Structure 1
Amino acid sequence: MNKYHLVLVLLACTALLAAPAAAEVIGSVGGETATISVTSSPSGAEVYDAGTYQGTTPCNIIVHTTATPIDHDITVSKNGYYDYHHYIGDVYTDQYITVNAVLTPVVQTGYLDISSSPSGANVYVDGIYKGTSPLVVSVDAGSHAIRMEKPGYDTWYGTYRVSPGDTTQVHASLGSSVTYGYISVHSTPSGANVYVDGNYRDNTPEVISVTAGTSHQVTISYAGYEVYQQTVTVSTGSTVYIDANLITSADAYLKIASYPSGAAVYVDGNYCGNTGYSSGSSVNYMNIGPLTAGSHAVMLKLDGYNTYTSTVTLSPNEIRTMSVTLTQNEPTPSGNAGLHVESTPSGAEVYVDNVFRGYTPVFLSDISEGQHTLLLQHTGYNDWTQYVQFIAGQTVEMDVTMSPASVPTAPAQSPFPILAFAGLAAAAAFAVRRMY
């Protein structure tokens, strides 16, 4: 080798030694490459490709694609965060692959041991209600805002830091702000809604704290009962007692009709009036009320008929309808028979041997012994008739279901008038010809 060639070799070696370091290259054969660009949030995380450290994010990994192929498994790691994995596999020449690792913090917990003076304060951690003091709350490590509230005391605020696995003591000395008194509310029945100054507070029985020194309107309501109201003034630290015996509300009604009509109606022993006339197609109900919810004794009386008694239980706001058929209390006259007829629909006209005897339901006690014709008629229904055999001293009971009348069809036009007229015309023409 001559001196000229030796100088060139030395210069080339010097240039190689003086060149700056490039990003680590995966493979070293050939000049064809691909790039894997790795970023993370947060940045500064360590990057590994197939277990080989490549640097910290942001980081570019240059891969020689003509080298021995390997599977590229990217791992991004940072203290306090879970590792991020991204499998790529093989890459190709001129590929530019981006990997953006959003790292998830490793959650660590601690505890807040919270107490107050006085106790029983409502505790809020980061604005979320946790219960009343004293209590222990599990929280994530870090800073937390704590608030405590108790009626009659100033609201307390504090911020405390919790380390992983540690318990932080929190104690609040609550300062008195407003003077309070109390209203103890009971009712019969219990479970009634309680309102103080128009605001719902709770159900009976309940002790309610209120601002002392001012008057407060207490309202107690319960379905089916009249509203109870009372105005009270409470002194500081004292308790006013309310024991409300609720009265059932009068908002229920009875509607009563009787057959026959004119019966005297009594409810709970009180005379309410007499029932009006009702026909089969129009029932004339007598309105009674308002009545309180609960049980009521109902009695109907009419001369010549057995007294009707019943007990009805009304619900709040109920309207109960009653149709009462009274039975005669007169004994069947000696030698005569009785007849009790009901029909569906009721209100049918009753005829015995073609003599009108009333509307169903009807009771007759003067039917002579022997066979009689019984006829029932009702508008819109077919007549019902039957021969009935009566025995002296016995009553025949009948319950008749009447059938609706069918609509009659128009009769077919008879050809007789036209034919007769044609025959008469022909006879007249023949007679005229004979005359001439």
Structure 2
Amino acid sequence: MSNAVPGDFSGELPGGSGTVAVNVRTVPDGAMVFFDGEKQEAKTPAYYYVNPGVHCMKVTLIGYKTYMDEFSFPEEELPVIYLEKAVEGTLHIDSTPQDASVYLDGEYKGQTPVDILTTVGSHELVIENQLYKTIEKTVELKAERQGMHYNLKPGSGAVYIWSIPEATILIDGEVIDLENNPGIVELDPGTYTITARKEGYKVGQKDITVKGADTQEVYFVLYGPGGQYTRVNDDIINIGITSEPEGATVYINGEERQGKTPGVYRVYPGINQIRLELSTYQIYDEEIDFPDESPLVVPLVRSPSDHPDIQGPSPEGSGRLEVEVSPADATINIDGSNVDISQPLELDVGEYLVKASSDGYISQQDTITIQKDKTTSISIHLVPEEEQNNDMSPSPEGSGRLEVEVSPADATINIDGSNIDISEPLELDVGEYLVKASSDGYISQQNTITIQKDKTTSISINLVPEEEQNDDMGPIVYFPGPDTVNIKIDSDPQGADVLYKGKAIGTTPFTRDVKPRIYLIELRLDGYEPTFKQIDVRNYITASTMVDMETGIWDELKEESE
């Protein structure tokens, strides 16, 4: 069945080939129509094409009782359907575990347990939790108050595993039976170590995190004898290509292929031109005879032109650096050498001096630390020379003012270890200061502020009573150490409520020192759909993310500094 578009109902509308056009009119308009349980796209008034014969028709509209009847088309002509106003009642929704998001008729209603005031009748219920399978049901509210409880089943993620050559696959040391290569395995949320083993080949191993009902790909290209491939058809084969380190862009016969190394790529047997590109490494460009030389494992060589001081891979390992700069054509210099930042840079573990410069702009520099197997991201915004007087960076000379507003009003304010009186603005030298607020019965807070020359910095601190601190994010530690992580969550636009386990714990921009573990965070902002993200901060010291409330897309969690 398919819908006709709403139109002028004054005349006859012929049906399509072998179908009957049914005119459905309701009072009020805007009702949803179902024929034999199949939802129709257009809302009333509209014409719908149906096959001749007896059909069960259902009409629903929020706030009105559901209408159901059987009709035989084309023998019967539909009357105008006058919908009856429904009576309101309360729908109590609970789940195990709790804190699941509830949607009724497509509208977010809160987290379980939740009471929803709605109309008596049929409603579409959706219960979601990122780590569990989604429940979608049609529920019927028949009384003034009706309770429903649902047991959520753990969600599973689909992991797509492909190995060249075909190898024995182990997950956390246990051999799994993959029916095919590639094969798919369902895993519950958690962290797993996947290993690929084949006699005569170097063992491959990858750690993955399954975050619920998601899908991810794991490729293994094992180093060893050649001639390993899978066949697509009589002319095309799948071959494996990887690089050490991984993450190189692959070109085959001049054509860029999707995805980075490691990967499986379709080629014609015989000689193929293979090109691998990875920032700070020399380009690999060779003719390879497939399948005799598959799997192809390429040890990339450091590029002296990119970083002349590096003579080979560091025994301490390496990490990656991502640089975002404005203006986009600014020159980036690392330890005296200009670099291309169009792709992330692979650098040895250690400290580097990063400088950014551009004609007509004030140059900036910063020292960054590269950590083993981690990605460091920095953002540099150069200030035009004509705006130098408005430069937001600290000046080495002069002073500025600090205004502090605190709740409760009798809280103690401490700056760099000294208690101070905030009844009047404070005159402070240019620089950074640690401001701490504390009061009996409240959880202390601290902020780092920057005083700028001839400017006034204002901060507002609202202390949370100790009895309200039950959001289970772990003890708040205001002096980060090896066992704490400082997470920062921001949104565009700002001012979104940050919730953990259904409880509001702050608004964006939000920062807190927490224990290193996994947190399921929700953001809510009037006028926008709620958005969720599972944040794993176990391998971070300082991490941040940004959320686009319009799209609900979260940036990847990034390490800010050591």
Q: Would you call these one fold, judging by a TM-score over 0.5?
A: no
* TM-score, reference length from structure 1: 0.27
Q: Could you say which structure has the greater relative contact order, defined with CA pairs below 8 angstroms and 6 or more residues apart?
A: 1
